[in-house]
Amino acid sequence: MKTLKFKYYWICLCVCGIFTSCGVDNFDEPDTFFSGRVVYEGEPVQVRHGEVRFQLWQPGYGDPGPIEVPLNQDGSFSIKTFHGDYKLVFVNNAGPFQTEIINEEQRDTIFFTLNGEKTLDVDVKPYFMVENTEFSLSGNTVNARCSIRQIITGEEAREVERVTLYLNNTAFVSDNDLENYANANADTADLNAIEVSAEIPDDNTRNYVFARIGVKISGVESLIFSPVEKLEF
């Protein structure tokens, strides 16, 4: 009799497990595509790939925690999630910029609804912008020129710590050691006329190189960059 009861109990557990598994498998998949750019005056803010991110919160669902959304190096982002009401928040000092204050009540928090595909440009105010960038090749040397425009002035202004030319053999170029195989710092005495050169490594086996200029800002961990440019020999 005990054996029969044990078998019956075991069968019930198996059946419950099957239905529980089916319940888990039957959860809806994300059905909303959310994409956009982080911009200043309509221009994408260039950053290190995956380093700068913002958070999406869905109010009214207990405390599920935020969805972390990283930026691509060209300032774009994309994520597939569920439809609903969201708020977009940048963590303090999340990038080489300040967020825009919308009003005194909501500050820099952006509220929106996702229901199907949505594209959004998020306006920010960078401390500096890298402009008028030019790259050229001379033998095994990459020469670069640019100007650094200060955007935030007054009490909240920051200083430029360094300006660096980065080279890599892939399209991912940054101050990350895995995303550059050569770099050189520029003289920053005149931010309106930056010139810097870097040597392509001798072990480069490709007939092209990717170049980018990065600006390190005092008190800010993340650099702001120029767009990546491909140079072919």
CA distance 61 to 104: 25
**What CATH superfamily classification does 32-125 receive?**
Carboxypeptidase-like, regulatory domain (2.60.40.1120)
Choose among 205, 48, 41, 60: nearest CA to 131.
41
CATH 2.60.40.2060 domain position(s) in the chain: 128-232
pLDDT at residue 63, as a whole number:
64
Choose among 119, 118, 91: nearest CA to 222.
91
**What's the predicted TM-score (pTM) here?**
0.85
Strands laid side by side in the 67-70 sheet = 67-70, 53-57, 84-90, 110-114
pLDDT tens per residue across all 233 residues of the chain: 444 444 444 444 444 444 444 444 555 677 799 999 999 999 999 999 999 999 999 876 666 789 999 999 999 999 999 989 999 999 877 899 999 888 888 888 999 999 989 999 999 999 999 999 999 999 999 999 999 999 999 999 999 999 999 999 999 999 999 999 999 999 999 999 999 999 999 999 999 999 999 999 999 999 999 999 999 99
pLDDT at residue 167, as a whole number:
99
CATH 2.60.40.1120 domain position(s) in the chain: 32-125
Query: SS3 string of the chain?
Result: CHHHHHHHHHHHHHHHHHHHHHHHHCCCCCCEEEEEEEEECCEECCCCCCCCEEEEECCCCCCCCCEEEECCCCCEEEEEECCEEEEEEECCCCCCEEECCCECCCECCEEEEECCCEEEEEEEEECEEEEEEEEEEECCEEEEEEEEEECCCHHHCCCEEEEEEEEECCCCCCCCHHHCCEEEECCCCCCCCEEEEEECCCCCCCCEEEEEEEEEECCCCCCEECCCEEEEC
CA distance 76 to 117: 15
pLDDT at residue 85, as a whole number:
93
Q: What confidence tens digit (pLDDT) does each residue in 78-136 have?
A: 999 998 999 999 987 789 999 988 888 888 899 999 998 999 999 999 999 999 999 99
pLDDT at residue 88, as a whole number:
95
Say yes or no: domain 128-232 is CATH 2.60.40.2060.
yes
